[in-house]
Amino acid sequence: MTPEQFKAWRKHLKLSQPEAAAVLGISPGSVFNYEKGARSEDGRPVLIPKTVELACAAVALGIRDYDGPQS
């Protein structure tokens, strides 16, 4: 997932950066960094983890709560 795709996902769902952070379980700073494609502290490139990409897909499908596999 590219920074542009991540931002498009957020905007498509009409989520603010803090709202996107809350539904994904990450910090608002991470959302900002993922959309920018670089760390705000030092400008180093940042990649969007596959787990975040999969979480974005789940949220887009309406899955908001996940408690892990059920036995």
The domain spans of the chain are 3-60
* Percent of the residues in the chain that have a pLDDT greater than 70, as a whole number: 92
Residue 67 has pLDDT above 90, yes or no: no
- pLDDT, residue 68, reads 61
Residue 71 has pLDDT above 70, yes or no: no
Q: Where are the alpha helices (DSSP H) in 1-71?
A: 3-12, 17-24, 28-36, 50-60
The angle, 0 to 180 degrees and rounded to 10, between the axes of the packed helices 3-12 and 50-60 is 20
- pLDDT, residue 70, reads 64
Residue 42 has pLDDT above 70, yes or no: yes
Domain 3-60 falls under CATH 1.10.260.40 = yes
- pLDDT, residue 65, reads 77
pTM of the model: 0.86
